[in-house]
């Protein structure tokens, strides 16, 4: 006789959020009155998605979770309002499909949280030792290559774990990503749990759709590739599998040393076979849990997860890192179409990318994006390359979208081109950043434009202001992380350059060190590498393939050694001042709160 598992009662997420905001509002008052110590309040603040800034005082960063990167016109309008009312007139898309606002006054945070609740959003657990924003490929549900639409699965995972007691005081943060196929645009291969939709052929010849779950990946100062938990995980078992991984992490993670507390260090200590055994054992016992998440989640059952499918009449656009992009048209609209439009789904709809330089969007642009979304009836997602993607469009709507984006400065061909630089906030606001990564990103973009190389396709550039890889520098073709340099008796901003990072086809290769550089020499180094790649690659050749054929990162780095020179201070004091700064460089690093 089989015993049916206990099905948990439906949660009232709206009421949970209301009570959560009220508790945090009381905590702020108690903290400011000296009734709650700093270390206790920090945990409460981070668990509510509120991150301290290097400016100190009560300046705060508010991080808003967008599960699967989905956003509505009402939510875009709210972003504009938040930027104007509580921040500095613009917001920032992160590499994890969040939106961040900086310089928010602590006492105004509850008002921001209530505004978010009105449009179905939250900042809860966007920071801290919690289950972070659940990501998904920005083309999920619209990609001609996908095996399943992972959008509802990401949303179900978010709903199951937000405010779940299991995830409130983990040893360290816990990140979950979804990809709809092996191309892995969702970047499953460097997360605590990375889920890739796959199929398998059963004994009777039929095909079953499901997932391959990867665990214990991570970037940071010591990157680890994610490892497969098992060959195939059924749709019914997916949420129990993720919860089992979380429970094993909670039980075995290092709570004494934050630097070795992520799931990757559990695998390092116990071995992947033992971690697999424990996860599968815990999963077997979950049906007896009061919070058992098994079966097909209600969100999935309601929305459906069928793949978009391929059109029989339109060639599917290639997607993913290393895609060869050729900008042959001279007409500006056709150039945008060549780089920014994805075709090939069976329902004959198309997707198009709106380029947000460095992930920044002004309040005016937020309002315009909301208006465009309403006008076109489009589905909109944020991408992990900090852009905005319109989906579900008809061919006839593409010229309209282009004209609207052109009017707000977001129609530049950017997707998968060299100019699409990704950067973390860096020392502009982050407590632990060493350098101004955003300033370097802008400088690289300008240098590529000046050299006529900004529209070279198939090369990704990512920058982090420290070793922690919030800018995901390990996983890009050209990556940089900030570091303090000493030259001529002075401190100076510098970077380590990495080459050859790659994520795709359920594989990951972390970039290899090429050379160290003064911050002010890094743009010239990028220009040299991109020019050589453009000149030497064969038709359709990826950056990684060209790099291997050219001797690897070390060999390319040797050709850049002449740039690793600091002039005497009196000869060129600019080398001793970081981008966007006016005074001498100081590596002012505070206490880590939210490092990757």
Instruction: Check if the beta carbon of residue 464 is closer than 8 Å to that of residue 481.
Output: yes
Q: Which two tokens stand for residue 33?
A: 């009155």
**pLDDT at residue 344 is higher than 80:** yes
Predicted local confidence at residue 313, as pLDDT = 87
| Res 113 pLDDT > 80 | yes
pLDDT > 70 in the chain, percent: 96
Percent of the chain with pLDDT over 90: 86
pLDDT of amino acid 7: 53
Close Cβ partners of 105 (under 8 Å, ≥ 6 residues apart): 58, 59, 60, 86
Res 2 pLDDT > 60: no
Taking 90 as the threshold, does the pLDDT of residue 106 lie above it? yes
CA distances from 87 to 47, 80, 290, 335, 407 (A): 21, 10, 41, 35, 24
pLDDT at 587 (0 to 100): 76
Mean pLDDT value across residues 539-562? 96
| pLDDT the model gives residue 595 | 43
Cβ pair 49, 85 in contact under 8 A: no
Token match 């009105």: residue?
A: 118
Q: Are 169 and 179 in contact (CB under 8 A)?
A: no
What is the tens place of the pLDDT at every residue in 167-205? 999 999 999 999 999 999 999 999 999 999 999 999 999
Average of per-residue pLDDT values in the chain: 94
Q: Which residue has the higher pLDDT, 329 or 255?
A: 255
Which string of DSSP letters, residue by residue, matches 387-444?
Answer: -EEEEEE-GGGHHHHHHHHHHTT--S--TTBTT--EE--GGGT-SS--S-HHHHHHHH
Angle made by CA atoms 152, 510, 415, in degrees to the nearest 5: 55
Can you give the pLDDT at residue 171?
97
For the chain, helix, strand, coil in percent to 5 are 40, 20, 40
Query: pLDDT tens digit string along 394-408?
Result: 999 999 999 999 999
Q: What is the average pLDDT across 374-389?
A: 98
Instruction: Please state at what angle helix 73-86 crosses helix 109-118, rounded to 10 degrees.
Output: 170
Beta strand pairing call for 490-499 and 478-487: antiparallel
Beta strands in 109-263 (DSSP E): 135-136, 176-179, 193-201, 207-215, 227-228, 233-234
């Amino acid at each position: 006789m089989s015993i049916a598992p206990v099905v948990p009662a439906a949660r009232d997420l709206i009421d949970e959020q209301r009570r959560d905001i009220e508790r945090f509002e009381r905590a702020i008052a108690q903290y400011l009155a000296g009734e709650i110590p700093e270390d206790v309040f920090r945990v409460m603040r981070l668990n509510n998605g509120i991150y301290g800034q290097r400016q100190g005082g009560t300046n705060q960063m508010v991080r808003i979770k967008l599960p699967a990167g989905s956003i509505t016109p009402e939510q875009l309008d709210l972003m504009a309002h938040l930027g104007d009312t509580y921040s500095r007139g613009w917001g920032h898309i992160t590499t994890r499909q969040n939106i961040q606002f900086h310089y928010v006054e602590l006492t105004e945070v509850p008002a921001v949280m209530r505004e978010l609740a009105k449009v179905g959003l939250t900042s809860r657990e966007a920071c801290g030792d919690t289950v972070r924003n659940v990501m998904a490929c920005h083309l999920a549900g619209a990609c001609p290559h996908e095996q399943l639409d992972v959008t509802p699965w990401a949303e179900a995972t978010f709903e199951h774990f937000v405010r779940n007691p299991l995830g409130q005081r983990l040893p360290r943060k816990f990140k979950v990503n979804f990809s709809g196929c092996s191309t892995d645009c969702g970047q499953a291969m460097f997360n605590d749990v990375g889920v890739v939709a796959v199929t398998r052929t059963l004994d009777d010849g039929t095909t079953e759709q499901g997932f391959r779950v990867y665990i214990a990946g991570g970037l940071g100062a010591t990157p680890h590739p994610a490892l497969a938990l098992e060959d195939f995980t059924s749709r019914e078992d997916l949420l129990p599998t993720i919860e089992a991984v979380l429970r094993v992490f909670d039980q075995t993670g290092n709570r004494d040393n934050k630097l070795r507390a992520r799931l990757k260090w559990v695998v390092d200590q116990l071995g992947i076979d033992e971690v697999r055994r424990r996860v599968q054992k815990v999963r077997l016992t979950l049906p007896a849990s009061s919070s058992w998440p098994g079966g097909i989640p209600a969100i999935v059952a309601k929305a459906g997860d069928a793949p978009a499918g391929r059109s029989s009449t339109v060639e599917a656009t290639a997607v993913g890192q290393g895609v060869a992009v050729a900008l042959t048209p001279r007409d500006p609209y056709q150039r945008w179409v060549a780089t920014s439009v994805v075709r090939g789904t069976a329902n004959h709809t198309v997707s198009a990318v709106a380029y947000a330089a460095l992930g920044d969007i002004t309040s005016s642009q937020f309002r315009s994006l909301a208006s465009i979304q309403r006008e076109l009836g489009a589905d909109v997602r944020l991408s992990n390359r900090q852009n905005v993607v319109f989906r579900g469009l008809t061919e006839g709507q593409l010229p309209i979208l282009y004209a609207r984006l052109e009017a707000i400065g977001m129609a530049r061909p950017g997707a998968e081109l060299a100019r699409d630089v990704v950067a973390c906030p860096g020392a502009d606001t982050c407590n632990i950043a060493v350098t101004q990564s955003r300033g370097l990103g802008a400088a690289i973009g300008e240098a590529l434009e000046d050299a006529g190389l900004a529209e070279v396709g198939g090369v990704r550039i990512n920058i982090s202001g420290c070793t922690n890889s919030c800018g995901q520098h390990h996983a890009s073709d050209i990556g940089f992380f900030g570091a303090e340099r000493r030259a001529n008796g002075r401190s100076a901003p510098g970077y380590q350059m990495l080459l050859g990072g790659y994520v795709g086809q359920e594989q990951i290769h972390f970039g290899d060190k090429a050379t160290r550089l003064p911050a002010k020499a890094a743009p010239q180094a990028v220009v040299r590498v991109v020019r050589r790649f453009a000149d030497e690659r064969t038709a359709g050749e990826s950056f990684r393939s060209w790099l291997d054929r050219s001797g690897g990162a070390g060999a390319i780095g040797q050709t850049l050694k002449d740039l690793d020179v600091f002039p005497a201070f009196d000869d060129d004091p600019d080398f001793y001042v970081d981008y966007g700064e006016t005074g001498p460089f100081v590596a002012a690093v505070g206490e880590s709160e939210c490092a990757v």
